[in-house]
Amino acid sequence: MKSPAERQTVASAEDATLNLPRRKALLALGALGALGVAVAGQARGAGMGGMAGMPGMGGMAGMDMGQSQPTAAAPGVGVFSRALLIPAELHGQPRDGVLHYALRMAPGRSMLVDGLQTATWGYNGAVLGPTLRVPRGKAVQIDLNNALDQSTTLHWHGAHVPGEMDGGPQSLIAPGGQRRLHFTLQQPAGSLWYHPHPDTRTGPHVYAGLGGLFLVDDPADQHLGLPQQYGVDDIPLILQDRRLAADGRLLYMTRMMDRMGMKGDRFLVNGREQPYWNAPAQWVRLRLLNAANARVFNLAFADGRVFHVVATDAGLLPRPVPVHSLLLAPSERAEILVDLRGDQGKRLVLRSDSGAVVPDLSAMPMDADSFDHQGFDLLEFRVGPPAGTPARLPTRMVDLPVLRADAPVRRFTLQGMSGNMMGGAMGGMEGMGSMRSGSQAMGVSEVGPGGMSLGVGGKKLFSINHHHMDMARIDQRLRLGSTEIWEVANQGHMAHPFHYHSTSFQILSRNGSPPPAHEAGWKDTVLVRRGETVRLIAHFNQQAGDAHPFMFHCHILEHEDNGMMGQFTVT
Ligand SMILES: [Cu+2]
């Protein structure tokens, strides 16, 4: 068996030799693919299809609001020219009974797309970050170091930590600044993640490349027989989309419809476009993270095979749930088991069957692009011989406690962008190219990596309970130790992934019915479809005062950055 490092070396050598002829063919295919998409959009224009068919909107799909920036050709069909990268694991260094970790945010250069250099930001590297392994019940110390040219924060998404350690918008780290965190996690094993959370700038900071996985490990779960050889049969898949200029620069908020949520036409897994994975012919565990700013993935295998959901956002399910497809909204995670025992020598493709779900998720043409209406490939499995100790599919995993509320139901309503707001939003886009003065004079950069726009966050476009985010206002005050039901009703025309900090919840109901079995576990993000009302229950045992409150917000980052967030204390 090769170590992950050796496998990576082999992959690089293959890249160097394989890619040239393949790339040329794909560029040609890409141009054809783009043409096909445009035609399909027009054909569907009479219904809910692409904007190309909307009166007066025909030219908008290709319209850049700032500089004229031709984008690189973008096939939805898999490229599969380079091997999947597995993020390095970061285990804490034990010292004085505490596990020590260090993360440094810094600029770098990455080859997200084969053959193109892209300026990006990353943690301890050029893009994304290492996979932190944090054992349950162990004291940790984490040193953060900001080597970027602007302020940011680092939030532990899904972690049960106090407000002061949570990395919310109040916890800014200045350029060149540092911050030391201490906490001990007392929560089930789960696949959490970390990402920036500055007020009005979370979207561009994540888009620039910042984000990584953060696994809570619990020895109690290691006897279940689940695949747990990291990088061999237990692999993280960080799913994202990006739009690039022809010269490789990241394009952010350059089109009118980006305001509804930034979506790209290049599909990345662990920071590489549509890679392949040399998978072993055995049960494999995929830790899926939707780290896209706005796009919902409807994951499925091209051959339609069944796979088994074993974990939701923040913990294992009572038992595996077989499915043919799995909806994953921004910031949701799932762990799935796939049986590759009979597939040696075969190639399989993991893709998003987006078109199957778009009617549930959006009603307006601006909400969905051609990839939402059709689908796209993500990762090719090249199944080779088994490796290491084969694992199995467990029959039972964990017991979930039944929570009982001890406070009145707390109600939230979600409002999307209305027709008249749209006009305002578009007005806002026009000024984008010229808003580069202000804080630049104070030595704080107003652009992202490679000159990437930071967008126009801070507009009052999306709201919760008809309030827009205000750092100076506490929206909800909770009692420490309480167990509360939160009811979230979507009054808008598109689906919103609702997330709150400091705890994990269980979904009690969707429109009055129990959630599907694959959602009946610990979660921290829930997709609320248009017209839907969900009820969630959680225990609040982490403290947060007015200086460092917790956030509740939509996890479409451009919605969060433009008002769809609120603050709560737990005291
Ligand atoms: Cu939203």
DSSP 24-78: HHHHHHHHHHHHHHHHHHHHTTTTT--GGGSTT-TTGGG--SSS--PBPP--SS-
Say whether pLDDT at 431 is over 80.
no
In the reported structure, the alpha carbon of residue 535 is separated from the centroid of ligand 1 by a whole-number distance in angstroms of 17
Do 401 and 378 form a contact (C-beta atoms < 8 A)?
A: no
Q: Ligand 1 centre and the CA of 387: distance in Å?
A: 42
- Average pLDDT over the chain reads 86
Which residue did the predictor score with more confidence, 9 or 183? 183
User: What percentage of the chain exceeds 70 in pLDDT?
Assistant: 82
Per CATH, 4-41+71-82+229-384 and 89-221 having the same topology is answered yes
Q: What's the CA-to-centroid distance between 422 and ligand 1, angstroms?
A: 15
Predicted pLDDT at 35: 33
Q: Which residue has the tokens 């990596």?
A: 449
Domain ranges of the chain: 4-41+71-82+229-384, 89-221, 410-570
Find the 208 Cα to ligand 1 centroid distance in Å: 20
Region class of 195: left (phi > 0), else alpha (psi between -120 and 50), else beta: beta
- Give residue 435 CA to ligand 1 midpoint distance, Å: 25
Q: What's the gap in Å between 313 CA and the centre of ligand 1?
A: 18
CA distances from 305 to 282, 302, 338, 340 (A): 15, 8, 9, 11
The pLDDT, as a whole number, for residue 502 is 98
Burial of 66 (0-12, 13-18, 19+ CB in 10 A): middle
Distance 345 CA to ligand 1 centre (A): 42
Look at residue 9 and tell me whether its pLDDT is greater than 60.
Answer: no
| Residue 387 pLDDT level (bands cut at 50, 70, 90) | very high
Residue 528 or residue 388, greater confidence = 528
Chain-centre distance of CA 81, in angstroms? 24
Identify the CATH class of 4-41+71-82+229-384.
mainly beta
Residues with CB under 5 A from ligand 1 (ion): 496, 554, 556, 559
Give me the pLDDT at residue 364, please: 81
Any residues with CB less than 8 A from the CB of 308 and at least 6 apart, and which?
Answer: 320, 321, 322, 323, 336, 337, 338, 393
What is the spatial distance between Cα 531 and Cα 523, in angstroms, rounded to a whole number? 21
Tell me what pLDDT residue 418 has: 61
- pLDDT (tens digit, 9 = 90+) per residue, 227-277? 999 999 999 999 999 999 999 999 999 998 999 999 999 999 999 999 999
- Which range among 227-241, 302-316, 423-437, 499-513 shows the weakest confidence by mean pLDDT? 423-437
The percentage of the chain sitting over the pLDDT mark of 90, rounded to a whole number, equals 76
- The answer on pLDDT for 428 being more than 80 is no
Q: What is the pLDDT of residue 160?
A: 98
Who has greater pLDDT, 324 or 60?
324
Assigned fold of 410-570: Immunoglobulin-like (2.60.40)
Tell me: pLDDT of 198 over 90: yes
For residue range 43-81, list pLDDT tens digits in order. 222 233 333 333 333 333 333 433 344 555 455 889 999
Q: Of 1 and 295, which is predicted with more confidence?
A: 295
| Per-residue model confidence (pLDDT) at position 41 | 30
Compute the distance from residue 370 Cα to the ligand 1 centre, in Å: 20
Cα(543) to ligand 1 centroid in Å equals 26
Top mean pLDDT of 2-6, 16-20, 354-358 is at 354-358
20 CA distance to ligand 1 centroid (A)? 41
Q: Which two tokens mark 22?
A: 């393949």
Q: What is the pLDDT of residues 161-185, one digit of tens each?
A: 999 999 999 999 999 999 999 999 9
Which run of H or of E encompasses 454? none
Under the banding of pLDDT at 50, 70 and 90, the label for residue 363 is confident
User: Ligand 1 center to residue 490 CA distance, Å?
Assistant: 10
Distance CA 566, CA 168 (A): 11
pLDDT for res 214: 96
pLDDT, position 22: 36
Measured in Å, residue 262 CA sits from the centre of ligand 1 at 11
Distance 330 CA to ligand 1 centre (A): 10
Q: Tell how far the Cα of 466 is from the centroid of ligand 1, in angstroms.
A: 13
Return the pLDDT at 71: 55
Distance 477 CA to ligand 1 centre (A): 23
Residue 555 C-alpha to ligand 1 middle, in angstroms?
Answer: 6
Question: Which token pair is 542?
Answer: 């982490």
- In this structure, of 301-305, 332-336, 442-446, the range with the lowest mean pLDDT score is 442-446
Q: What is the model's pLDDT at position 421?
A: 57
CA 360 / ligand 1 centre spacing (Å) = 14
CA of 495 to the centre of ligand 1 (A): 7
Sheet with strand 190-195: strands edge to edge: 89-91, 131-135, 212-217, 190-195, 155-157
Mean pLDDT of 512-534: 97
- Cα(399) to ligand 1 centroid in Å equals 32
**Ligand 1 mean position, distance from CA 311 (Å):** 24
**Residue 489 contacts residue 413 (beta carbons within 8 Å):** yes
Tell me the CATH number of domain 89-221, given options 2.60.40.420, 3.90.1150.10, 3.30.40.230, 3.40.800.20.
2.60.40.420
C-alpha of residue 563 to centroid of ligand 1, in Å: 10
Residue 333: which H helix or E strand, with range?
strand 333-339
For 443-486, write each residue's pLDDT tens digit.
457 899 999 999 989 999 999 999 999 999 999 999 999 999 99
pLDDT of residue 21: 34
Distance 413 CA to ligand 1 centre (A): 12
Q: What is the pLDDT of residue 4?
A: 39
> Strands, E, within 65-125: which ranges?
89-91, 93-95, 98-110, 118-123
